[in-house]
Amino acid sequence: MIFVQGLLLGLTLQLSVGPVFFAVLHKSINQGFLEAFKMTIAVTLVDAFYICISFTTISALLKIQFFHRLMNIGGMAILIYFGWTYIKNANKNIDKSIDTPIENSFMYGLKLTAVNPLTVIFWSGTLGSLIAGSRLLGVNEITVYALGCLTATLLFLGIVSFLGKYIRPFINARVMKFLDYGVGIILIGFGIRLFYR
């Protein structure tokens, strides 16, 4: 039951789509399931790391306004950089084969997820409140709950990774170019939004 509760919370988080969702979908359409799934595994590992550190001093540090602001500025800069890279390479990616990796998908997934401080804020706030309210007692319950959350990430983004092969036949060079621009603008938008939060 605790696993299912964690799974439902994780799916709720995934349904509020953010930059990672769009990047995984783009990767799936452009380079196929395997590359997108590598990225999905990286995202899941970063979530696991953030869940672990949400029980440490990082939670307390995030309550310090200066530290919180510093993380937001760093996250904003990196998201804007990733977005600009998509826009800059929009014309270059048109002729690339689906089997030609533009870069290491696993590392890209790690970088993109790790720069988003909202992830650690979400996990530390949510899990902290559940523990404080005695809804999760002991290491075993917390671990099972966290595994449910991580399964949701793997499941949801795994499905997104799989969908790319069905969308791919409908994507021509022009649509791919607009998709690159779209993902770039979305990442830049999330970066700017992160700065003003």
Who has greater pLDDT, 119 or 153?
153
Question: Is it the case that residue 20 has pLDDT exceeding 70?
Answer: yes
Q: Higher confidence at residue 156 or residue 186?
A: 156
| The pLDDT value given to residue 185 | 86
Q: What is the mean pLDDT of residues 30-47?
A: 92
89, 186 contact by CB (below 8 A)? no
For residue 177, what are its two tokens? 């170019």
Does the pLDDT of residue 31 top 70, yes or no? Answer: yes
Contact assessment for residue 27 and residue 106, using Cβ atoms and an 8 Å cutoff: no
Instruction: Please count the CA atoms within 13 angstroms of the CA of 104 that sit on its side-chain side.
Output: 5
Residue range 103-141, pLDDT digits in tens = 688 988 888 887 766 676 667 666 666 665 556 667 787
